[in-house]
C-alpha cells in the first residue's frame, strides 16, 4: 500500500464507526425477522407455546451437527454454560488438573475453577495465539484430566497434536486425557479438512451477539461424536431428566433456534466476507513497520472473528500502546487487546493460579491488539483502517 493510496484513504475517512469487537458480529435481514414472527405466531396456541425441546430446536441441532460434521449438537443458552457443562462431564475430583491456555477469555479457567478443578496454565504459540503443544506436554502430570484449548479469535488450536499428547499421557484411573475445544469465537473456521468442532471429545460454540453467527443475542451449542456423553449433556441442560442426574435450565429457546437456522445458512458467506477483508488488509499492511499481521498455517481456515495484529517484540508495551492511541484518538479506529492472560488481570483467577508463571504469554500480551473487522465492512473502510495502521506505525517508528 503506497503512500499516495494511504493518503487518499485517510482523506476519505470512515463511512461509520466500527468497534474493535462489533456488538453485532453477523448481520440480520428480513429472513430473521420473518422467522421470529412466524415462530411467535405458531406458538400463540395455549397448547403449543414456546417450550421445551421442540421441533425447531431439534431441527437446528441436526443442521448444526451436519455443518460441523459431528453426530451430535446439543443446543444451549450460551457458551459459558457449555464450558461449564463440558467440565462437569469430567466429574473432577480434588486435585484434578485441566490445562488451559494463558492468553484467553476468562470463561475457560472459570469453568474449571467452578468445578473445583485446578487450572494449569500453558503458554500459547506466538503465531496462532493457541495452546503451544510443546508447552502443554511439559505441564501434563498424573493428575491431568483434560487439555482445554481455545480456538483463539477464529483460528483452530492444533487439535491433532493435542490429541496425540492426550493419548501419550493417560490418566492412571481414567485413561486417555480428554481434549475439549473452546470454539466460542471460532464457528466457521476449519482445520485439516474438518470444521472446527469436529476434533476433540467435545467443542463448545457461542452464538452471542458479537459472534460470527448469533441467535438473538445469546445461545450456543456443544458438538461431539461421543454417543455416551450426549444424555449427560442433555440432562444437565434440562433438570437432569434425560441423564437421571443433576441438571438445571440451560436451554436455547424455540425462537432462537428458528433464527439460528437462518444464520447458519448465512454463515459461510459471512466467513468468506471476513476472510476476503482480512486477506486484502494483510496485503495492504505488507511492509508496515513494527507490525505483524495474523497468520493462517497451512491446512487451517481462519474465520477472522477478530483481526489480531502483533507489534514486533521490541515494540511491546509502550510503543504498541502508542500505535493504539494514534489509531483511536486521531483516526477514530477502535482497538482492543483480546485477551491478556486472565491470571494477570482477574483476581478470582489469580487466586486459583497463584505461583504459575507464563513469561512468554505475558510478554506476547504486551504486543497483541485488534482492529475492527466485520462481514458488512466496505472495501473503502477496510482500506482506511489499513492506512491508519500504517500512519500510526510510521509515526511510532519515528518517535513522533
Query: Closest Cα partner for 259 from 296, 217, 297, 230?
Result: 217
Q: Is 280 helix (H, G, I), strand (E, B) or coil?
A: helix
Whether 305 and 185 have beta carbons less than 8 Å apart is answered as yes
Residues facing 205 on adjacent strands: 221
pLDDT in tens, 361-388: 999 999 999 999 999 999 999 999 999 9
What does the block give as the cell for 56?
425447531
Burial class (CB in 10 A: 0-12, 13-18, 19+), 45: exposed
Interaxial angle between packed helices 55-68 and 254-284, expressed in degrees from 0 to 180 and rounded to the nearest 10: 30
Task: Measure the CA angle with vertex 269, ends 263 and 273; round to 5°.
Answer: 120
Q: What is the largest CA-CA distance in the chain?
A: 71
3-state SS track over 293-345: CCCCCCCEECCCCCEEEEECHHHCCHHHHHHHHHHHHHHCCCCECCCCCHHHH
Q: What is the pLDDT of residues 177-202, one digit of tens each?
A: 999 999 999 999 999 999 999 999 99
Residues of the chain with pLDDT under 70: 400
Is there a contact between 292 and 309 (Cβ–Cβ < 8 Å)?
Answer: yes
pLDDT tens column, 65-114: 999 999 999 999 999 999 999 999 999 999 999 999 999 999 999 999 99
**270 CB-near residues (< 8 Å, 6+ apart):** 26, 27, 188, 212, 213, 375
**Helix 379-397, helix 3-12: angle, nearest 10:** 120
Number of other CB atoms surrounding residue 46 within 10 Å: 6
Give the per-residue pLDDT at 223.
99
For position 52, what pLDDT does the model report? Answer: 87
* DSSP string computed for 130-186: SB-HHHHHHH--TTEEEE--B-GGG----HHHHHHHHHHS-BTTTBSPEEEEE-TTT
What residues contact 158, with CB distance under 8 A and at least 6 apart?
Answer: 125, 128, 130, 131, 133, 149
Residue 148 contacts residue 182 (beta carbons within 8 Å): yes
Domains in the chain, CATH or no CATH each: 3-24+268-397 (3.90.1150.10), 30-262 (3.40.640.10)
* pLDDT attached to residue 91: 97
For residue 266, how far is the Cα from the chain centroid? 18
Tell me how far apart the alpha carbons of residues 281 and 374 are, in angstroms, rounded to a whole number. 12
Residue 51: what pLDDT?
A: 86
Cell of 331: 483516526
The CA-CA-CA angle for residues 308, 310, 313, to 5°, reads 165
Instruction: Measure the CA–CA gap between 159 and 92, rounded to whole angstroms.
Output: 22
pTM reported for the whole predicted model: 0.97
Q: Rounded to an integer, what distance in angstroms lies between the CA atom of residue 333 and that of residue 388?
A: 8
Strand, coil or helix: what is 222?
strand
Amino acid at each position: 500500500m503506497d503512500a499516495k493510496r494511504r493518503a487518499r484513504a485517510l482523506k476519505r475517512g470512515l463511512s461509520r464507526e466500527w468497534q474493535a469487537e462489533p456488538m453485532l458480529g453477523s448481520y440480520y435481514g428480513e429472513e430473521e425477522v420473518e422467522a421470529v414472527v412466524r415462530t411467535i405466531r405458531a406458538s400463540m396456541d395455549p397448547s403449543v407455546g414456546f417450550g421445551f425441546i421442540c421441533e425447531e430446536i431439534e431441527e437446528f441441532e441436526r443442521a448444526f451437527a451436519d455443518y460441523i460434521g459431528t453426530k451430535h449438537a446439543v443446543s444451549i443458552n450460551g457458551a459459558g454454560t457449555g464450558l461449564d457443562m463440558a467440565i462437569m462431564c469430567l466429574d473432577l475430583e480434588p486435585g484434578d488438573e485441566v490445562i488451559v491456555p494463558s492468553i484467553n477469555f476468562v470463561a475457560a479457567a472459570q469453568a474449571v475453577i467452578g468445578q473445583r478443578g485446578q487450572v494449569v496454565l500453558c503458554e500459547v504459540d506466538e503465531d496462532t495465539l493457541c495452546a503451544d503443544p510443546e508447552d502443554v506436554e511439559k505441564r501434563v502430570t498424573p493428575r491431568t484430566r483434560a487439555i482445554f484449548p481455545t480456538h483463539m479469535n477464529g483460528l483452530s488450536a492444533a487439535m491433532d497434536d493435542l490429541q496425540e499428547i492426550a493419548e501419550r499421557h493417560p490418566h492412571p484411573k481414567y485413561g486417555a486425557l480428554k481434549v475439549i475445544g473452546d470454539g466460542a469465537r471460532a464457528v466457521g473456521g476449519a482445520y485439516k479438512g474438518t470444521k472446527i468442532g469436529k476434533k476433540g471429545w467435545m467443542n463448545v460454540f457461542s452464538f452471542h451477539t458479537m459472534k460470527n453467527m448469533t441467535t438473538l443475542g445469546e445461545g450456543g451449542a456443544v458438538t461431539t461424536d461421543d454417543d455416551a456423553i450426549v444424555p449427560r449433556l442433555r440432562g444437565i441442560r434440562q433438570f437432569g431428566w434425560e441423564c437421571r442426574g443433576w441438571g438445571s435450565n440451560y436451554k436455547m429457546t424455540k425462537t432462537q433456534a428458528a433464527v439460528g437456522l437462518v444464520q447458519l445458512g448465512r454463515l459461510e458467506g459471512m466467513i468468506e466476507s471476513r476472510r476476503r477483508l482480512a486477506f486484502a488488509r494483510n496485503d495492504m499492511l505488507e511492509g508496515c513497520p513494527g507490525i505483524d499481521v495474523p497468520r493462517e498455517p497451512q491446512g487451517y481456515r481462519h474465520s477472522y472473528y477478530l483481526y489480531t495484529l502483533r507489534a514486533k517484540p521490541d515494540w511491546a508495551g509502550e510503543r504498541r500502546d502508542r500505535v493504539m492511541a494514534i489509531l483511536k484518538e486521531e483516526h477514530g479506529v477502535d482497538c482492543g487487546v483480546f485477551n491478556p492472560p486472565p491470571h494477570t488481570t482477574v483476581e478470582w483467577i489469580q487466586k486459583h493460579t497463584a505461583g504459575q508463571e507464563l513469561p512468554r504469554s505475558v510478554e506476547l500480551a504486551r504486543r497483541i491488539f485488534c482492529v475492527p473487522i466485520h462481514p458488512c465492512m466496505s472495501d473503502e473502510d477496510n482500506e482506511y483502517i489499513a492506512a491508519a495502521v500504517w500512519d500510526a506505525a510510521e509515526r511510532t517508528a519515528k518517535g513522533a
